Structure 1
Amino acid sequence: MDSEDITQEKIQAVFEAIDADGDGLISLKEYCHFLQEHGGTSMEAIEAAHEDFLGADRNWDDYLQFSEFARAVSRWCRNKGSNDPDVRLVQAVFQRF
């Protein structure tokens, strides 16, 4: 997954897919549910998702706005060479869109 493969349109499509209730915000529940459905169900993956969510929630309102999500995706793309399970999960999700 190269950062140039991750377009704004693709980020928007993934954001909308995660935002199950369509309110323009991603809750932790929506985020974890989406990752379970599209990524992994291991306890490690769920714990990592929770940490990722908290790290991406810049205004600490317990929701991810599109700008927060896009910033987090950009950060994950910069780490694409790592063996980090979070980065691998993001790669797997974005390859499906």
Structure 2
Amino acid sequence: MNSLVEQVALAARATLGAIRDRVVDAVGARRVLQVGGLVAALGFGTTLAFASQTLALCGFMLVGFGAANIIPLMFKAAGMQTLMPANMAVAAVTTHFPMEAI
């Protein structure tokens, strides 16, 4: 049973990850980050609130859905900014990204 749930969760995550750019173009990066944060928080809450392994897996899946868009958007923002060269900006995002830039 668990391996089926894991496979479904992985397939769903891969499918949603593939349409990320279309969603960002449609609603904007800021909205994607806001909704992603809420989905990740809901996932953490689900994982902590229930003792079931299946629900915990679903909670972690929600965390993945919410958090998986953050890093690609941060690297994209680093490449598009004009305050410093792109290679330095990517290094800055890799080591520390200030939240004021969102």
Please indicate, yes or no, whether the TM-score normalized by the shorter chain is above 0.5. no
Q: Higher Cα Rg: structure 1 or 2? A: 2
| Structure 2 length-normalised TM | 0.28
* Structure with higher RCO (Cα < 8 A, 6+ apart): 1
| TM-score (normalised: structure 1) | 0.29
Higher strand proportion: 1
Q: Report which of the two has the higher share of helix.
A: 2
